[in-house]
């Protein structure tokens, strides 16, 4: 019987929960583009001048390469898959004193995955890796590292 496992042992849960938003992708979004391997949805709850767009994309990879880690026992499976979700939100800034002031700015977040097209990899495995990536973006006290990262401070700091 075969089993799969990750090599890390730092698996203690944080007391800082991440709350999922109930987006209602099938009820609150209009499909504005649809292709063989992609879909683009536009949030109907946002005004037309302050849009939110959610895009899903997947593609097959003929020869998967991962240079980040040294794989000692590579899988015979060389084909892979890449898939992602991208959320593009519009941040609109106005001024209560100057009614003519308005600046709209896009903020884009892309979450992507790439792995062999292997039956050894399950959705649960992907969820584990995703949870660890999100955890890498948080400090031990539960605050986000974005203020540091947007200033180019990639190295984790003590809390």
Q: Looking at residue 35, what is its pLDDT?
A: 94
Q: Would you state the structure tokens that stand for residue 120, as one six-digit string?
A: 């050894």
Q: Which of 156, 83, 136 is nearest to 114 (CA)?
A: 83
Residues with Cβ within 8 Å of 38's Cβ and at least 6 positions away in sequence, in order, are: 55, 56, 57, 58
| Residues across the chain | 159
- Residue spans of alpha helices (H) in 30-152: 123-136, 146-149
* Position 2 confidence tier, pLDDT thresholds 50, 70, 90: confident
Tokens for 86, please give them. 């991208």
pLDDT tens per residue, range 20-74? 899 999 999 999 999 999 999 999 999 999 999 999 999 999 988 777 778 888 8
Give residue-wise pLDDT tens across range 63-114.
Answer: 887 777 788 888 888 899 999 999 999 999 999 999 999 999 999 999 999 9
Q: Residue 127 gets which letter from DSSP? A: H
**pTM of the predicted model as reported, rounded to 2 decimal places:** 0.86
| Distance set, CA 134 to CA 8, 23, 129 (Å) | 16, 19, 9
Alpha-carbon distance of 49 to 142, in angstroms, equals 33
């Amino acid at each position: 019987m075969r089993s799969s496992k990750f090599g890390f042992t730092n698996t203690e849960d944080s007391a800082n929960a991440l709350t999922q938003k109930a987006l209602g992708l099938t009820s609150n979004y209009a499909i504005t583009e649809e292709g063989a391997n992609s879909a683009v949805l536009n949030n109907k709850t946002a005004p037309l001048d302050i849009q939110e767009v959610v895009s899903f994309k997947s593609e097959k990879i003929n020869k998967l390469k991962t240079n980040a880690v040294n794989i000692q026992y590579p899988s015979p499976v060389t084909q892979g898959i890449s898939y992602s979700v991208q959320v593009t939100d519009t941040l609109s800034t106005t001024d209560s004193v100057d009614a003519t002031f308005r600046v709209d700015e896009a903020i884009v977040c892309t979450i992507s995955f790439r792995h062999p097209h292997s039956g050894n990899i399950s959705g649960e495995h992907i969820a584990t890796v995703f949870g660890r990536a999100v955890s890498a973006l948080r400090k031990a006290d539960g605050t986000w590292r974005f203020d540091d990262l947007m200033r180019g401070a990639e190295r984790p700091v003590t809390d």
